[in-house]
């Protein structure tokens, strides 16, 4: 098992307009490993010229100019919310291209994948990025295999993560590799996050798109999330919203773009997916636990939402982890 005492230098690459949380989440995880678990990480924030670099939120970060050792441990490239900001980073991409061959492992957080790709680091690799930017990323870099629904992807010495907070998941996985599972679990507890977040990013984004504004429909949807094992008829949900079933169905569709029945099915799929992908629990039991009633209904809904039946989703997940 790797030891916390192993010395590892971590270099974060930032640039004007970078996303602060892309840096802050993983940086906090590594710093907790240093402060509370004796991990000998040597963390630096680097930019092309050093000095203060202002992020998109207006907060300026003090950086150092890139050092030039023959070898270092980990290169992490953060992203930005605006595509135009990323496209303007030719000097940063050149820096990444120069440093990457010296790093034991290369990584990106969110749209930082654009800079890894521009530097040639992702050539021939699978990768992921924020779900919103996947179509544009795939058009710009057609030779890269984009796994759009992963929280993070590791292939050989190259790691990429999904949107923003997924950088914390990536950092925890790196810390687990370096220092062991107990250290990464402890840091997850310190951060008050899941140690291993199962499932992909698309279902989170889908549910955000479904989310109505404040009011009765949101209350009914929250009730449905908390009572998935119940029948959840339109009449029951309308009762929660305290309006007639007919008015509820009409208002629900207007605010979410879905019928109540389809929305409940999506909620159940969202609840089932981590168990399908991350456990060996029988599929019929998972179907019962999330309210589908039988595995055949869960299979039909998975096919409609994810394009694959539960068995294929499970096999695909195991193949990724192999």
Q: Which residues are catalytic?
A: 110
Burial of 181 per CB tally in 10 Å (0-12, 13-18, 19+): middle
CA 124 to chain centre: 21
Q: Which residues contact 27 (CB under 8 A, 6 or more apart)?
A: 12, 43, 45
β-partners of residue 173 are: none
Q: Which residues contact 196 (CB under 8 A, 6 or more apart)?
A: 169, 172, 278
Q: Which residues contact 208 (CB under 8 A, 6 or more apart)?
A: none
* CA nearest to 178, candidates 74, 45, 102, 107: 74
User: Per-residue DSSP letters for 146-166?
Assistant: E-TT-SEEEETTEEEE-STTH
Q: Please give the Cα distance from 162 to 266 (Å, whole number).
A: 21
Q: Please give the Cα distance from 309 to 303 (Å, whole number).
A: 5
Query: Which two three-digit tokens encode residue 17?
Result: 């307009």
């Amino acid at each position: 098992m790797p030891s916390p005492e192993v010395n590892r230098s971590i270099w974060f690459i930032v640039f004007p307009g970078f996303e602060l949380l892309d840096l802050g989440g993983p940086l906090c995880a590594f710093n907790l490993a240093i402060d509370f678990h004796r991990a000998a990480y040597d963390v630096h924030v680097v930019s092309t010229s050093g000095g203060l670099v202002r992020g998109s939120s207006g907060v300026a970060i003090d950086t150092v100019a890139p050092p030039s050792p023959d070898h270092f441990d980990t290169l992490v490239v953060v992203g930005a919310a605006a595509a135009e900001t990323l496209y303007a980073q030719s000097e940063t991409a050149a820096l990444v291209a120069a440093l990457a061959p010296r790093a034991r492992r290369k990584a990106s957080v969110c749209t930082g994948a654009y800079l890894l790709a521009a530097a040639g680091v992702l050539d021939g690799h699978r990768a992921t990025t924020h779900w919103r930017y996947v179509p544009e990323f795939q058009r710009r870099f057609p030779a890269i295999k984009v796994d759009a629904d992963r929280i993070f992807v590791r292939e050989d010495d190259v790691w990429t993560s999904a949107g923003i907070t997924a950088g914390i998941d990536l950092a925890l996985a790196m810390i687990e590799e370096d220092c062991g599972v107990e250290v990464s679990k402890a840091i997850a507890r310190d951060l008050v996050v899941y140690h291993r977040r199962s499932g992909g990013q698309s279902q989170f984004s889908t549910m955000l798109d479904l989310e109505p504004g404040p009011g009765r429909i949101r209350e009914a949807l929250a009730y449905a999330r908390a009572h998935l094992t119940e029948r959840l008829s339109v009449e029951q949900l309308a009762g929660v919203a305290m309006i007639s079933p007919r008015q509820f169905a009409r208002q629900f569709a207007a605010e979410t773009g879905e019928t109540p029945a389809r929305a409940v099915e999506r909620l159940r799929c969202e609840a089932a997916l981590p168990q399908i992908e991350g456990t060996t629990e029988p599929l019929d039991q998972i179907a019962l636990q999330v309210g589908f009633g039988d595995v055949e209904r869960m299979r039909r809904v998975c096919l409609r939402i994810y394009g694959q039946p539960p068995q294929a989703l499970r096999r695909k997940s195991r193949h990724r982890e192999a």
